[in-house]
Amino acid sequence: MAARVVIFFKTMQAARCPTDELSLTNCAVVSEKDLQSGQNVTVKTTPNHKFVFTVKTHHTVAPGSIAFSLPQRKWAGLSIGQEVEVANYNFDKSKQCIGSMTIEIDFLQKKSTDTSPYDSDKMAAEFIQQFNNQAFSVTQQLVFSFCDKLFGLMVKDIEAMDASILKGEPASGKKQKIDVGLMVGNSQVVFEKAESSSLTLVGKAKTKEARQTIINPDWNFEKMGIGGLDKEFSDIFRRAFASRVFPPDIVEQMGCKHVKGILLFGPPGCGKTLMARQIGKMLNAREPKIVNGPEILNKYVGESEANIRKLFADAEDEQKRLGANSGLHILIFDELDAICKQRGTGASSTGVHDTVVNQLLSKIDGVEQLNNILVIGMTNRPDLIDDALMRPGRFEVKMEIGLPDEKGRVQILNIHTNKMRSFDLLAQDVDIKELAAETKNYSGAELEGLVRAAQSTAMNRHIKATSTVEVDMEKAEKLRVTRNDFMGSLNNDIKPAFGTNAEDYSSYIMNGIIKWGDPVSHVLDDGELLVQQTKNSDRTPLVAVLLEGPPHSGKTALAAQIAEDSEFPFIKICSPDKMIGHSEISKCQAIKKVFDDAYKSQLSCVVVDDIERLLDYVPIGPRFSNLVLQALLVLLKKAPPKGRKLLIIGTTSRKDVLQEMEMLDAFSTTIHVPNISTGEQLVDALELLGSFSDKERASIAQQLKGKRVWIGIKKLLVLIEMSLQMDETYRVTKFLSLLRDEGADRKFYE
């Protein structure tokens, strides 16, 4: 006889569960006049929110009411007396029977916690018995009584039972997640301890968390003194440890091999060694063996290789005894380039480096390779390391530890000022975010040095200036490190190795930019557009512009001004005056170093000044350095690494020469910087310079009216200064005479 299906739809009032005993049933309680025990209903609380409950009848509940326990009301967002729409809900047993359900568990009340182990298998059997044939939803909350203890549960995940099993057929292996399911007798329940819970679970019916012990859950970047490396850490864990947190049997079934080597590289002082030093604290593994590269080398034959074998001996022995269940052994090589140089280099050497590399390769990825090791190498010269070590299976994870961004600098400064802050030794006017914004391109080590310098400045204020060095104890008790201490150290003591040195370009614009006419304004405006293009455009990470014009027209000063106005974190001027006496090879290396340093910053500007001088060009012959030319052509066209942007500003007085060398094509655009060409422009320049009196300028203007001149601003400054050395009576005459002589041979002064 078919079961009678009761169609039900009614508006009811939410009420409080009548007894504690009924609260533990996970059922909504109704009057027997409304519904039958065991029915499943949907409770619609808002137009967009429905919740599925199994109901139970009780005589104390008034008709038209539906009673919920506190966890149910909390889950569904119900309040006492709220009107809800209640309707029948029928499960599709071919798709909605629970195959497995993951439940997060913790003590209901913190005061009732204990350290006794609870058998999760018995707990699962009791759970299925108590709640058999009931509806469960993902995120549902309920109370569970086990061994006279109350536990708070939350459903995390539900997988539907395989339809093949329900038909009595072999399992298909397909798994489907569902939001609502019906508990049946052969459902599986898996308990997972809530985060930060002190509950101890034993048995099989718990998650594989016990096996995922490689990563210590208590580690914290800032407590360990590491800041600004969040992304790098997450990438390392994803690549190096994802396969290690899985049970060995699953890894073996996948045919997965663990990552055995990580190479950390980047500028000095950015946290490579610090990261490796702390990595043992982050992992529930044996204490890492930290090895400085040069310590491996030994003057006796074979001893260097023996030192490598000793490092791997413990891991080798454990793998033989325990196989796949062996623990993780971590080896950290600092200054890896000291022992792993390219093989075959250095003809006069003893070949020790070659055999050390061979021994290391055989241990990491040889015939009897080890699968329970993780080798972390660190270097700031990855170009020196043998190529064989860099392929997958060896140091396959290559991670650049670059200069910290602003968010990273905030973290680092917080770490180094944390102790001062806790003892109230940091003044209120110190703004860490302001300091982070001011310290573009500072490495972690330089930021630490900045804090130390500020501390020294603050302490120095409290030392008595007497014949003996004494501390003024009365003032020392009021010691505070202030904003001025940091700013003073920032300006005077600590300068970034990869950054902007104002002294580099200040000498080029010590007289300022004289805007004698529209041509100068146009150059600066175009320069500003190129700066904005570099900052904002994702399609052109490399922008190269050439400022060309006659000698002394102010090209270098304009290039330096555009670079300074850009406020890029990295600004460097590549100038021939720093390469006097360099050979062609050393000049190429110096130019390449400037560009390599620029690639390490998010935003960089490189000024390549006086290109024809860098190329050693002379018109007699003519001759030039083809080696430097080819190096510049490559660097001018080479796009910076992903996520980095570079603006290159070149200057030249011989555009025709660069045209013949096919160098103009390497620049995105060319901007012409002209000389002063009219008397009116020259008078405007004199007025801006303020060197002559109004009467003298009027006399000069009268003499130059309607005449054509041709003189660079730099040359004009020299003529003015020479004229000013004369007596006031002869200044104007001398200036006009010098101006006439300057342009006489080219007929520029007419």
Q: State which amino acid sits at residue 344.
A: G
For residues 586 and 589, what is the distance between their CA atoms, to the nearest angstrom? 5
pLDDT mean over 564-578: 87
State the Cα–Cα distance between residues 83 and 34, nearest whole angstrom.
15
Residue tagged 């009780």 (tokens): 58
In the three-class reduction of DSSP (H, G, I as helix; E, B as strand; rest coil), residue 590 is classed as helix
The per-residue pLDDT for 346 is 55
| Least confident stretch, 36-40, 440-444, 633-637 | 440-444
Residue 747 confidence class, pLDDT cut points 50, 70, 90:
very low
Catalytic residue among 637, 665, 705, 741: 637
Residue 379 has pLDDT above 80, yes or no: yes
Q: What integer is the mean pLDDT of 367-391?
A: 82
pLDDT of residue 732: 85
Burial of 225 (0-12, 13-18, 19+ CB in 10 A): middle
Q: Please say if the pLDDT value at position 329 is more than 60.
A: yes
* Average confidence (pLDDT) over 386-411: 85
Instruction: Please give the average per-residue pLDDT across 427-433, as a whole number.
Output: 90
Which amino acid appears at position 60 of this protein? Answer: T
Tokens read off for 206: 């718990």
> How many Å apart are CA 561 and CA 525, to the nearest integer?
11
Q: 651 and 546 in contact (C-beta within 8 Å)?
A: yes
Checking if the pLDDT of 431 tops 60, the result is yes
Sign of CA dihedral 395, 399, 402, 408: negative
Q: Which two tokens stand for residue 228?
A: 């600004």
Percentage of residues of the chain with pLDDT beyond 70: 85
Give the pLDDT of residue 523: 93
The CA-based angle 100-23-71, given to 5 degrees, is 70
- Secondary structure of 269-280 as H, E, C letters: CCCHHHHHHHHH
Q: How confident is the model at residue 1 (pLDDT cuts 50, 70, 90)?
A: very low
CA distances from 409 to 343, 447, 735 (A): 39, 8, 55
Q: What is the pLDDT of residue 468?
A: 66
Bridge partners of 28, per DSSP, are 55
Q: How far is CA 349 from CA 301, 345, 352, 659, in A?
A: 13, 8, 8, 47
Q: For this structure, is 609 an active site residue?
A: yes
CA distance 334 to 171: 52
User: Considering only the top CATH level, what class is 676-743?
Assistant: mainly alpha
Catalytic residue among 555, 572, 587, 645: 555
Query: Using the 8-state DSSP alphabet, how is residue 661 labeled?
Result: T
Q: What's the pLDDT at 211?
A: 42
φ/ψ of 607, rounded to 5, equals -100, 115
441 close to 499: Cβ distance less than 8 angstroms: yes
What pLDDT score does 745 carry? 47
Whether the Cβ atoms of residue 144 and residue 129 lie closer than 8 Å to each other:
no
User: Would you list the domain boundaries of the chain?
Assistant: 9-88, 98-202, 222-400, 406-493, 502-672, 676-743
Please answer whether residues 285 and 329 qualify as being in contact, where contact means their C-beta atoms are separated by less than 8 angstroms.
Answer: yes
pLDDT at 327 over 90: no
CA distances 728 to 58, 691, 723, Å, are 115, 12, 9
Q: What is the pLDDT of residue 706?
A: 76
Q: Looking at residue 669, what is its pLDDT?
A: 93
CATH number of 502-672: 3.40.50.300
Cβ 708 vs Cβ 678: under 8 Å: yes
The answer to whether 497 and 443 have CB atoms below 8 angstroms apart is yes
294 versus 550: the higher-pLDDT residue is: 550
Long-range pairs of 294-300 with CB within 8 A, sequence gap ≥ 24: 294/335, 294/338, 294/339, 296/339, 296/356, 297/338, 297/339, 297/352, 297/356
The amino acid occupying position 639 is A
Amino acid in the structure at residue 415: I
Sign (positive or negative) of CA dihedral 590, 596, 602, 606: positive
Looking at residue 544, what is its pLDDT? Answer: 95
Both tokens of 312, joined, read: 């791997």
Q: Is 556 a catalytic residue?
A: yes
Q: Which amino acid is at 115?
A: T
Catalytic residue of the set 556, 572, 652, 715? 556
Q: CA-CA distance, 370 to 361, in Å (whole number)? A: 11
Quote the tokens at residue 403: 């200069």
Residue 393: pLDDT over 60: yes
Q: What's the mean per-residue pLDDT of the chain? A: 82
Q: Which of 44, 289, 714, 734 is catalytic?
A: 714
Q: What percent of the chain has pLDDT over 90?
A: 14
Q: How confident is the model at residue 503 (pLDDT cuts 50, 70, 90)?
A: low
Range name among 23-27, 116-120, 710-714 with the lowest pLDDT average: 116-120
User: Catalytic one among 334, 337, 597, 609?
Assistant: 609
Pairing type for strands 289-292 and 329-334 reads: parallel
Considering the domain 222-400, what is its CATH architecture? 3-Layer(aba) Sandwich (3.40)
Asked if residue 210 has pLDDT above 50, the reply is no
Asked, colleague to colleague, whether 98-202 and 502-672 share their fold, the answer is no
At position 241, the amino acid (one-letter code) is F
The β-bridge partners of 647 are: 543, 605
Higher pLDDT, 321 or 438: 438
pLDDT, residue 743, reads 64
Contact in structure between 276 and 290 (CB atoms under 8 Å): yes
* Per-residue pLDDT reduced to its tens digit, 474-502: 666 778 889 998 988 888 878 877 766 66
pLDDT at 24 over 80: yes
Q: Residue 411: what pLDDT? A: 86
714 is catalytic: yes
- The terminus-to-terminus CA distance of the chain in angstroms comes to 121
Range with the poorest average pLDDT among 107-111, 570-574, 602-606, 625-629: 107-111
pLDDT for the residue 622: 77
In 131-142, which positions are buried (b, 16+ CB within 10 angstroms) versus exposed (e)? beebbbbbebbb
Burial track 468-506 (b if 16+ CB lie within 10 A, e otherwise):
eeeeeeeeeeebebbbebbbebbeeebebbbbbeeebbe
637 among known catalytic residues: yes
Predicted local confidence at residue 5, as pLDDT: 46
Tell me the β-bridge partners of 54.
40
Rounded mean pLDDT, 549-560: 91
| 406-493 CATH fold | Helicase, Ruva Protein; domain 3 (1.10.8)
Q: Are 261 and 311 in contact (CB under 8 A)?
A: no
Check if the beta carbon of residue 267 is closer than 8 Å to that of residue 380. Answer: yes
Amino acid at 737: S
Indicate if the pLDDT at residue 255 is higher than 90. Answer: no
Q: Distance (Å, rounded) from C-alpha 722 to C-alpha 701?
A: 19
Q: State the pLDDT at residue 633.
A: 94
Considering 34, 162, 386, 610, which one is annotated as catalytic? 610
Predicted pLDDT of residue 388: 84
Asked if 555 is an active-site residue, the reply is yes
Give the tokens for residue 326. Answer: 């062996």
Could you identify the residue written with the tokens 């910076």? 640
Helix 713-723, helix 679-689: angle, nearest 10: 60
Given pLDDT bands bounded at 50, 70 and 90, which one contains residue 267? Answer: confident
Residue 209 has pLDDT above 50, yes or no: no
Burial 40-57 (b: 16+ CB within 10 A, else e): bbbbebeeeebbbbbbbb
Residue type, 514: I
Would you state the CATH architecture of domain 9-88?
Beta Barrel (2.40)
216 closest CA partner among 375, 371, 330: 330
Cβ atoms of residues 404 and 228 within 8 Å: yes
By C-alpha distance, which of 569, 573, 576 is closest to 595?
Answer: 573
How wide is the angle at C-alpha 158 spanned by C-alphas 154 and 159, nearest 5°? 165
**What average pLDDT score do residues 47-75 get?**
89
Question: Does residue 522 have a pLDDT over 50?
Answer: yes
695-699-703 Cα angle (round to 5): 165
Q: Calculate mean pLDDT across residues 421-442.
A: 87
User: Which CATH number is correct for 98-202, 3.40.50.800, 3.10.330.10, 3.40.50.150, 3.40.630.30?
Assistant: 3.10.330.10
